[in-house]
Amino acid sequence: MNNVQNIFITGGSSGIGYQAILSLLKQGHRLTIPCRSVERREYLINRLYSQASDNCDLETQINVLVMDLSDLHAIEKLTKQLLNNEHTIDTLVLNAGLQYTGSSQPWLSHQGLELTFAVNHLSHYYLTNRLMPLLYKSINPRIIITASEVHDPKSPGGSIGMPASIKPLEGLISLQTKRHYLLDGTTKFNADKAYKDSKLCNILFARELSKRLILARKKLPVIAWAPGLVIPKSRDGFFRYSRKNNEFGQILFALIARDLLNITETCQNAGELLSMLVTSKDYLESNFIYLCNRLIRPGKHEIAIKEVSQEGLDDNLARSLWDLSAKLVKRYVSLAEDNLSSVIDYQL
């Protein structure tokens, strides 16, 4: 088939990412899919062989690898292999997302960082910097970041509970003291706010990345998008950790939002939207764009361009987040000094 893409996608073993993979495989594209463990890798491979379209050639179309996004060293190891193999990436899809709302205590990554921030932002920040040379090998590269409406305190989801805000980044600045687990320096942990803050980081990271690409005169669109409220009926997927902390509450919320009010989006539709963002030519002329799959009426969503939140437009905050993220990675990843300039301080 013509225009076959090489796609690297995180968060592909369940939920929206998995549905997008099924669609992209059917179109003939080749996918590299990291999974957090050998067991998860085998689970995904078996699932794809049982559910992918009959016309797919999985032997040549999928490359399922092991990479735990909560471990910066695992990202370093896998990306080094891809760089050594001069693997070309046409589209980088940063789709993985983690939420454990309801927990009273922070969960920690392999490097001892709060897990929501580590997986949803820092891992994708590092992964992007590492894989940028492979994107430059593509004729029409693009980067897609799955964000969320909850990054905006004025959105329906963002207005419930503590709002997203990472100013003044005191928690990230003084992270070595291990007193702060929220980016704004709040000492009392709130898992819901941690998730909202990580989605705000996605927006700030996407805007800063796009700005650096423009300065470097690189044509590489950065697309951030919000899929809407997606609550699958299966026990797998995005809400699996939050369900452990408050199973009754999650069941009740799903019953009301999905089954009674019909205000949620299906995994299948959201996956098709993500697949469309990967393949459509409509967004190749934009440097940065934020798209929101907004609810029009019960049972009806429409994806459209939307402005990000006020804090998401803060250029100084975006630059500070980028620089502090670089310092964090340098602290924890044992790369040789002569490689740092081409990885974290990559002159985009």
* pLDDT tens, residue by residue, 333-348: 865 344 444 444 444 4
Within 10 angstroms of residue 25's Cβ, the number of other Cβ atoms is 23
* pLDDT digit string, tens, across residues 300-310: 889 999 999 99
In angstroms, the first-to-last Cα distance of the chain is 32
CA distance 221 to 94: 14
* Residuewise pLDDT in 10s, the chain (348 residues): 458 999 999 999 999 999 999 999 999 999 999 999 999 999 999 999 999 999 999 999 999 999 999 999 999 999 999 999 988 999 999 999 999 988 889 999 999 999 999 999 999 999 999 999 999 999 999 999 999 999 999 998 899 999 999 999 988 887 655 555 789 988 789 999 999 999 999 999 999 999 999 998 898 999 999 998 887 776 665 455 545 565 656 666 567 667 676 767 889 999 999 999 999 999 888 899 999 999 888 888 899 999 999 999 999 999 999 999 999 999 888 653 444 444 444 444
Query: What pTM, to 2 d.p., does this model score?
Result: 0.91
Q: 200: how many CB neighbours lie within 10 A of its CB?
A: 31
91-94 and 142-146: which strand pairing? parallel
Asked if residue 166 lies in contact with residue 321, where contact means CB atoms within 8 angstroms, the answer is yes
Question: What pLDDT was estimated at residue 201?
Answer: 98
Query: What is the rounded distance in angstroms from the CA atom of residue 291 to the CA atom of residue 285?
Result: 15
Which amino acid type is present at position 181? Answer: Y
The pLDDT tens digits of the residues spanning 201-233 come to: 999 999 999 999 999 889 899 999 999 888 777
What domains can you pick out in the chain, each with its CATH number?
Answer: 6-343 (3.40.50.720)
Question: Do the bridges between strand 288-297 and strand 300-305 make them parallel or antiparallel, or are there none, so unpaired?
Answer: antiparallel
What pLDDT is attached to residue 18? 97
